Structure 1
Amino acid sequence: MKNILFVSPTGTFDNGAEISIFYLMTALVKRGNKVINVAPGYQGEDKTSYQNKFKASGIDTYILPAGKWWWEDAPGGLPEDAKVRAFYYRENIAQIRQLIQENSIDLVVTNTVNMFQGALAAACESIPHFWLIHEFPENEFAYYLDKIDFIAEYSKEIYSVTGLLNQKLNLLFGEKDIKQFIPYSEVDASPLKKGENIRFVSVGRLTERKNQLELLKAYHQSGKTDVDLVLIGAGDEDYKIKCLNYIKKYNLKNVKLTGHLDNPWEELTDKDIFVSSSAMETFGLVYIEALLKGLPVIISDNPGYASAYKIFQEGEMYPLGDIEALSEKMSLSLETFTEQKQNSINKISEVREKYSIEFVYKTFIEEAEKVQGSEKKAVRHIENLLTVNADSSSSFKSEIKRTVKRVLLKFKKR
């Protein structure tokens, strides 16, 4: 059995990358491996609940104070002081190295493309490093196209979410074989509550990326506005205003915005049709959750959903941006609801079999549990330049801490 250290991207459970790899970590622990987790901590944050969830699964989590945890040109902005960033990057690499030494770590795993500290710490300690990539190199994540050489050089293995992302990365990385995994999320198996009327329901934060405005337009065009449309999720304020303005302009009285719900699936009923017009998903966990709940499903053909649909072959898919096609799918789903509902229920066991931890992480677990030996990188010859801060005096550290406190109060990580 192995000792494995994971580097996590946010120290929160508000994103699919953290959620899905939490379940990978728990699976490794159940198989007898020792797993520890490191994540960033910023001024004024309380990470107790995050740490407790890991602790309950036998995983120790270390919160490392950070200037910026992600690459400097990654999303999330920058603290204004370059010295602060440099100080904490070195400090974090040194802290991870110390954890590697103290816990006899055999393998370091970086969860998401957005951090490099684990890769460099593993290189300095001459142990293997695996990289897990969830993000398409587009839009806000296009920045990492310029880092392909680094990622390839400092990874024994690279894994990405299965499907179109994996295909794209294999082309970008050339000779480097990018392996794949399916992101896992535990779905509450309890049955949906009984509903009285058929509704359209969409789950996801109101954002340009989730593209609910397209759904509103298709709903209006369908002429089925006597049917309730429920949008579940908090919203980016500007985009939420766009949606509300559209609802008001066309007097869509049966559209309901719930805002944030701790458990959105408690809002759904057995009479609901799940619809997502999302413009971009890495894989689309919410699609799988809807299938496991036995809901009729309509999804866009964005790359993430298309990848998931190829595996599960369930639900209806329409071309992203084609409002008329979505409108027609929505109308048809009302007309054939009974038939679609029964088909969805019949498919639950098949979907569950394909979406088990043992299946989705099989290759990764096998590779992680057989790593051995050293992985010597040339950077080990200058390890002190990466991990030792030039002035470690108490006065200098106090100055840095004062600067961090001032700067990070206005630094919003993503």
Structure 2
Amino acid sequence: EAVGTASDVIALSVGRNVPKKSLAVGVEAFALALKYAPNLRYVHIGRDGEALTTQAEALGVGDRFHALGEQPRPKTLQAYEEADIFFSPAAMESFGIVTFEAMTASLPSVVSDGPGNRDAIEDGRTGILAPVDDTEAMARALVKLASDESLRSEYGCNARDVVAEFAWPRVAERYVAAFESVTSSTMTDGQ
């Protein structure tokens, strides 16, 4: 089911609502950003989002926040395709699978500058890194991307290019090139 209108800019977060994900910080940042980017809409997919809905309503932004709960994989992938910005306020991500999924969908990211996120996102190239738990910096980043479609497109294309480097065919090419380089130099050295 579609959320929002064609003129809305959708920020998407994906994951369980647990303390290390800092999703409450994300809702606060969204509420601040909405003052300057009224076309922004925040969609969250993951378990235990009821508290986030309550928080959004208390902040007066409940009509622009949507906690969809846990979704089947195809619906989650569709949400990435329909979103405009990937938003991860998580203080840390062990590997950041959701960030790479967003990059595959050509989404620019607004993420906390914590472990995992900083390894995936290149600030100013594939997204914007904001200090952990800094709601104002996250809000500024959301506003910046929400108000600049060409920047979203640029960062999103860059993100997709970066993640393509990790695709198995590309990894295999690098292994073959390394193997050929080693065997070539070994044969040359042996003559």
TM-score of the pair, normalised by structure 1: 0.36
Identify which of 4, 8, 12 aligns with 1:201: 12
Distance in 2, matches of 1:243 and 1:347, equals: 28
Change (3 A) 1:350 1:212: closer
In structure 2, the CA distance between the partners of 1:198 and 1:309, relative to structure 1 (3 Å rule), is closer
Q: State the match for 2:187 in structure 1.
A: none
Residue 255 in 1 paired to residue 68 in 2?
no
- Is 1:211 paired with 2:19? no
**SS state at 2:19 partner:** coil
Contact in 2 for aligned 1:281/1:305 (Cα 8 Å): yes
Q: Distance in 2 between matches of 1:343 and 1:304?
A: 18
Q: Between the two structures, name the one with larger relative contact order (CA 8 Å, sep ≥ 6).
A: 2
Q: Which has the higher helix share?
A: 2
1:209 corresponds to which letter in structure 2?
K
Instruction: Report if aligned partners of 1:219, 1:225 keep a CA contact under 8 Å in 2.
Output: no
Letter of the aligned partner of 1:262 in structure 2? P
Distance 1:304 1:244, change over 3 A: same
Task: State the one-letter code of the partner of 1:232.
Answer: I
Alignment of 1:126-275 (within 5 A): 196=6, 197-222=8-33, 223=35, 224=37, 226-235=39-48, 240-252=49-61, 253-263=63-73, 264-270=76-82, 272-275=84-87
* Partner Cα distance (2:82, 2:52) in 1: 26
- After TM superposition, give the deviation of residue 268 of structure 1 in Å: 3.4
| Other-structure match for 2:133 | 321
- TM-score normalised per structure 2: 0.74
Match of 2:113 among 290, 301, 305: 301
Question: Any residues of structure 2 matched to 1:13-412 within 5 Å, and which?
Answer: 196=6, 197-222=8-33, 223=35, 224=37, 226-235=39-48, 240-252=49-61, 253-263=63-73, 264-270=76-82, 272-309=84-121, 314-345=126-157, 347-356=159-168, 359=171
Go from structure 1 to structure 2 and tell me whether the alpha carbon gap of 1:302 and 1:214 turns closer, same or farther (over 3 Å shift).
Answer: same
How far off is 1:351 after superposition? Answer: 2.5
Distance 1:350 1:207, change over 3 A: closer
Equivalent-residue separation in structure 2 for 1:351 and 1:294 (angstroms): 9
In 2: Cα distance, 1:347 partner to 1:230 partner:
21
Provide closer, same or farther for how the CA distance between residues 306 and 198 of structure 1 changes in structure 2, counting only shifts above 3 A. same
Indicate the structure (1 or 2) with the bigger Cα radius of gyration.
1
Q: Show structure 2 runs of 5+ residues with no match.
A: 180-191
Change (3 A) 1:255 1:347: closer
| 349-358 or 213-222, larger mean C-alpha shift | 349-358
- Partner deviation per Cα, 1:196-253 (whole Å, 9 max, x = no partner): 2321111111221211111100111121355211011112xxxx45323312212211
Structure 2 vs 1, CA of residues 230 and 271 (structure 1 numbering), >3 Å: closer, same or farther?
closer
Cα pair distance change 1:257/1:205, threshold 3 Å: same
Q: Structure 1 residues 314, 356: closer, same or farther in 2, change over 3 A?
A: farther
Q: Kindly indicate whether the alpha-carbon contact (under 8 Å) linking 2:9 and 2:39 is maintained by their aligned counterparts in 1.
A: no
Once the two structures are TM-superposed, the CA of residue 338 in structure 1 deviates from its matched residue by: 2.4
